[in-house]
Amino acid sequence: MRDLVDIGMGRTARRAFGLDEVEIVPSRRTRSSKDVATTWQIDAYRFDIPLVTHPTDAIVSPGTAVAVGELGGLGVLNAEGLWARHENVEDALLRLVTAAEKGAEPAELVRALQQLHAEPIRVELITEAVRKVREAGVTVAARVSPQRAAELTPHLLGAGVEILVVQGTIVSAEHVARDSGQAEPLNLKSFIADLDVPVVAGGVHDYRTAMHLMRTGAAGVIVGYGHCDGVTTTDAALGIGVPMATAIVDAAAARRDYLDETGGRYVHVIADGDVHTSGDIAKSIACGADAVMLGAPLAVAAEAPGQGLYWTSAAAHPSLPRSRVLPVAEDVEVDLRTLLFGPSNDADGLVNLFGALRRSMAKTGYSDLKEFQKVGLTVRS
């Protein structure tokens, strides 16, 4: 079932593929992009486009969470980010942006972000942010880390969160604690069982971890950790990485097997990484994702809080940062609506992200996301 390679005597490694190595093959049919549906649904929540935002402060403020919701996607606030720690986030971000404009070294920008995150989380700040999204009437989602999920979740639910995202670089169903002096680790299964809202959890990187996470009762599983070339550096720092095409395919296999195991429980697979262009969104779905978690591609939006900078929350880790703070493509200037739906003057797949997805589905003859997961693929190797 798996394609194994001998990398030396007595040791095999599995061949794995990135989205850049696969391409979609048209089928013998075509259709009009007007005849294509991109809707999907998680629990009772229905969305026009398979878009979940990566919970980084660089793209998600309460305001952009509302805007994404109004445009048919799901915005996810980071409940442990700047909006949870600072009363005046705009000022904090301005300092970061100003430093970048003055040519600060990469390490200085990381340090500045680390310092902004050194402030404690204040429950009243993050619940206030959640309430702002709630008031706008869109679906409300927030992200917590496994470490602080137990502490923060009650407050978030109280403020109106409807979908909870439990997300770390790598999240497993089984966190082993050996040192009895440490805090009890999160038991995801009982945690989810006690909640009334659907939980999306991850990232996972392989079939087995995805399967175990599905068995905890999660409504959705995140594949990947938001990596995009040049920004995240988990591979450089930890040596860990699973190319996204393979990781998505494996999680989709777990979804299928879990569906069979449970006689019908469908857990959504949300791909979080390696997406740079609209073509990569199409490839993620084609590999089996139900939706994509977008980070860097949204940072070019005029409304993005990062104002031309992008980073993931791993950039703020106090002792081992694993994301750079980087400027985004300068020559794309669009509002969020145009970024998602066009029209575009950009020939590089950076604008009209979901119009492009519709067109990709139409040109290959598919009419909905679920069907499109079966489209033919080629691989360069």
The interface with its own copies within residues 58-117 (CB under 8 A) comprises 105-108, 110-111, 114
Residue window 267-306: x/- pattern of binding to its own copies, with contact defined by CB under 8 A: ----------xxxxxxx--xxx------------------
Nearest CB to its own copies, comparing residues 177 and 193 = 177
CA dist 252 and 374 (Å) reads: 11
Q: How many other C-beta atoms lie within 10 A of the C-beta of residue 145?
A: 17
CA dist 78 and 81 (Å) reads: 5
Q: Does 143 bind its own copies (CB under 8 A)?
A: no
Nearest CB to its own copies, comparing residues 48 and 108 = 108
Nearest residue to 227 via CA among 250, 209, 202, 207: 202
CB of 106 vs its own copies, minimal distance in Å: 7
CA dist 315 and 263 (Å) reads: 41
CB of 289 vs its own copies, minimal distance in Å: 12
CA dist 311 and 95 (Å) reads: 15
Q: Which of 233, 265, 308, 371 binds its own copies (CB under 8 A)?
A: 233
CA dist 364 and 369 (Å) reads: 12
Residue window 163-192: x/- pattern of binding to its own copies, with contact defined by CB under 8 A: ------xxxxxxxxxxx--x--x-------
Q: Does 239 bind its own copies (CB under 8 A)?
A: yes
Nearest residue to 213 via CA among 190, 197, 189, 193: 189
CA dist 308 and 101 (Å) reads: 10
| Helix residue spans in 36-105 (DSSP H) | 62-70, 89-101
Q: Which of 124, 345, 368, 370 binds its own copies (CB under 8 A)?
A: 345
φ and ψ at 103, to 5 degrees?
80, 30
Q: Does 10 bind its own copies (CB under 8 A)?
A: yes
Nearest CB to its own copies, comparing residues 75 and 295 = 295
CB of 45 vs its own copies, minimal distance in Å: 26
Contact 274, 224 (CB under 8 A): yes
Site for its own copies in 302-321 (CB under 8 A): 315, 318-321
Q: Which two tokens stand for residue 369?
A: 């996301």
Q: Does 2 bind its own copies (CB under 8 A)?
A: yes
CA dist 108 and 365 (Å) reads: 49
Nearest CB to its own copies, comparing residues 175 and 265 = 175
Residues contacting residue 120 through CB under 8 Å, at least 6 positions apart? 85
Nearest residue to 254 via CA among 201, 200, 207: 207
Pairing relation of β-strands 326-327 and 309-310? antiparallel
Q: Does 263 bind its own copies (CB under 8 A)?
A: no
CB of 380 vs its own copies, minimal distance in Å: 7
Nearest CB to its own copies, comparing residues 184 and 196 = 184
Nearest CB to its own copies, comparing residues 161 and 201 = 201
Residue window 34-53: x/- pattern of binding to its own copies, with contact defined by CB under 8 A: xx------------------
Site for its own copies in 208-227 (CB under 8 A): 208-209, 212
Q: Does 262 bind its own copies (CB under 8 A)?
A: no
Contact 282, 360 (CB under 8 A): yes
Q: Which of 14, 46, 122, 337 binds its own copies (CB under 8 A)?
A: 14
Nearest residue to 216 via CA among 228, 199, 230, 233: 199
Nearest CB to its own copies, comparing residues 155 and 255 = 255
Q: Does 240 bind its own copies (CB under 8 A)?
A: yes
Nearest CB to its own copies, comparing residues 126 and 166 = 166
Q: Does 135 bind its own copies (CB under 8 A)?
A: no
Contact 168, 135 (CB under 8 A): no
Which part of the chain contacts its own copies (CB under 8 A), choosing from 25-33, 95-103, 116-124, 298-306? 25-33
Nearest CB to its own copies, comparing residues 126 and 221 = 221
Size of the site for its own copies (CB under 8 A): 119
Q: Which two tokens stand for residue 184?
A: 């009890």
CB of 171 vs its own copies, minimal distance in Å: 7
